[in-house]
Amino acid sequence: MKTDTADTTDHAGSAYAPPGSFSELEAAIRERFPEMRPQFQAGAAFLLDNPGEVAVSTMRAIAVKAEVQPSTFVRLAQYLGFAGWAELRALFVERLAGNPKAYAFKAKSIVRRSNSDKLVAEIFDAQRTNLDASEPKSADQLLAAARIMVKARHVHIAGFRAAFSISFLLHYLYRLFRTSVSLINGGAGSIEQELRAIEPQDAVVVISFAPYSAEAVRVADAASAAGGKLIALTDSAVSPIALKADHTILFSHESPSFFPSMAAATAVAESLIELVISMDDGKAVKRLELAEQDLHRTGAYVTPVSR
């Protein structure tokens, strides 16, 4: 566990009024996150990324997982305007009461079998766990993000390195029923030209997770500077792209393998596209049908052998 002796001289009180709801708390943490000391940042990130666990666990248990001293959470609560930890935690309990899926997530986490010595079983178990963890984190934000995409003049999508597969999937699916979409990939050093195309009426979807891609942060900065709506698909509410985003959709990517699991990220991307189609005008399905017909007509698919 990390020590936090540097925090002992931090805020004993706060000039801030305490947030009155979880959404206000999230906004306050995101706004003040850059100015927080490292231990406060570690504690705040854990709170926002694991709200269901905060509501049902002790402060000491949470501190162990966040790798900070328990007293850090007391001082963090006071820094945010609360009298103490109990008042801060009450917002998480209130949130849990209105979100029954969080109970299911906690129960599944408790009974999850993790003692398999077979790598294949462990990997599939990790995928299921990531999906269960991501659903309660992302549901509300998925709806809000889909509404933004439906209204946007143009949608720009970016993901780099391991996140590129998710950005390509989003771009491919979206383009099947709408042509007003671009994939930002920075090929041949063209990322500056691609970023200049972003306008205030546009939506920009950026996918990135730790360690965060520098290119993804550049795209997020450009979206904010242009006045476009930024949608972040990421692993933390305080990731570099989440701090700039209008809407943040979280997914988990834990894996026993050396590479991160993309199962939950893929599910999030597919869900986002399905929601966009469900909200789009009736012409979206027609455009999708025409796209499929063109793919068959142009020989994109192999004709099944008749028997």
What's the pLDDT at 127? 83
Name which residue leads in pLDDT, 62 or 121. Answer: 62
Residue identified by tokens 């709170």 is 47
Query: 43: closest CA among 19, 9, 66, 71?
Result: 66
Using CB atoms within 10 A of its CB, is residue 12 exposed (0-12), middle (13-18) or buried (19+)? exposed
Whole-number pLDDT of residue 170: 96
Residue-wise over 184-218: b if at least 16 C-beta within 10 A, else e? bbbeeeebeebbeebeeebbbbbbbbeebbebbbb
Above 60 in pLDDT, residue 128? yes
Quick check: helix, strand or coil at residue 61?
helix
Whole-angstrom distance, CA of residue 210 vs CA of residue 51: 19
Of the CA atoms within 13 Å of residue 87, those in its CB half-sphere come to 15
Residues paired with 286 in a beta bridge: none
Confidence of residue 9 (pLDDT cuts 50, 70, 90): very low
pLDDT grade, residue 2 (50/70/90)?
very low
* pLDDT tens per residue, range 22-45: 888 988 998 999 999 999 999 999
Stretch 278-305: mean pLDDT: 77
pTM: 0.71
pLDDT per position as a tens digit, 211-237: 889 999 999 999 999 999 999 999 988
69 residue type, one letter: Q
HEC assignment per residue over 227-249:
CCEEEEEECCCCCCCHHHCCEEE
Whether 266 shows a pLDDT value over 60: the answer reads yes
Lateral strand order in the sheet of 229-234:
181-184, 155-159, 203-207, 229-234, 247-250
Nearest to 201 by CA among 167, 162, 152: 152
**pLDDT(95) > 60:** yes
pLDDT of 5 higher than 50 = no
In this prediction, residue 290 carries a pLDDT of: 80
- Whether residue 293 has pLDDT greater than 70: yes
Phi-psi sector, 207: left (phi>0), alpha (psi -120 to 50), beta: beta
Q: What is the CATH T-level fold of the domain 135-296, as seen in this structure?
A: Rossmann fold (3.40.50)
For the cut 80, the answer to whether the pLDDT of residue 270 exceeds it is: yes
pLDDT score of 84: 92
The CATH code that applies to domain 5-97 is 1.10.10.10
- For residue 106, pLDDT over 60 is answered with no
Domain boundaries, the chain: 5-97, 135-296
Residue 111 has pLDDT above 90, yes or no: no
**Rounded mean pLDDT, 136-160:** 92
Q: Which of 62-71, 91-100, 221-230 has the lowest mean pLDDT?
A: 91-100
pLDDT beyond 60 at 8: no
Task: State how far the Cα of 148 lies from the Cα of 229, in Å rounded to an integer.
Answer: 7
Predicted confidence (pLDDT) at residue 157 exceeds the cutoff of 90:
yes
**pLDDT in the model for residue 296:** 78
In this model, does residue 125 exceed pLDDT 70?
Answer: yes
